[in-house]
Amino acid sequence: MKKTTFVLTIFLTLISNAQPTDNSPDSTSHIQLLRQKITTYDDPYVFVIAHRGCTANAPENSIKAITDCIELGVDMVELDVRKTADGVLILMHDDTLERTTNGQGKVSDYSYDELTQLALKTKFGGENAPITGERIPTFEQAMLVAKDKILVNLDAKADVFNDAFNVLKRTDTQDHILMKKWLKPSDTALSLQTPFNQVLSMPVLAHPKAYQSKNYFSAIDYRAQLETHPIAAEFIFDSLDFAYQISQLARQNGVRSWLNSLTGWTSAGLGDAQALKNPDAVWGMFLAMGFSMIQTDHPKQLLNYLKKMKCEHLPNCKRHLTSMQFDR
Q: Where are the domains of the chain?
A: 1-45+183-328, 76-178
Q: How far is CA 147 from CA 52, 54, 228, 318, in A?
A: 17, 17, 29, 29
**Exposure b/e, 221-249, CB count within 10 A at least 16 = b:** bbeebbeeebbbbbbbbbbbebbbbbbeb
Question: DSSP assignment, residue 290?
Answer: T
Specify the pairing of strand 76-83 against strand 47-51.
parallel
Least trusted range by pLDDT, from 120-124, 172-176, 215-219 = 215-219
Q: Strands of the chain (E only): list them.
A: 47-51, 76-83, 89-91, 151-156, 177-182, 200-206, 232-236, 256-260, 291-296
State percent of the chain over pLDDT 90.
80
Report the amino acid identity of residue 277: K
Q: Name the CATH architecture for the domain at 76-178.
A: Alpha-Beta Barrel (3.20)
Report how far residue 53's alpha carbon sits from residue 71's, in angstroms, rounded to the nearest whole number.
12
Q: What is the pTM of this model?
A: 0.88
- 88 contacts 138 by C-beta, under 8 angstroms: yes
310-327, pLDDT tens digit by residue? 766 544 443 333 333 334
- Would the pLDDT of 59 be above 90? yes
Q: Is the predicted pLDDT of residue 18 greater than 80, yes or no?
A: no
What count of other Cβ atoms lies within 10 Å of the Cβ of residue 253? Answer: 16
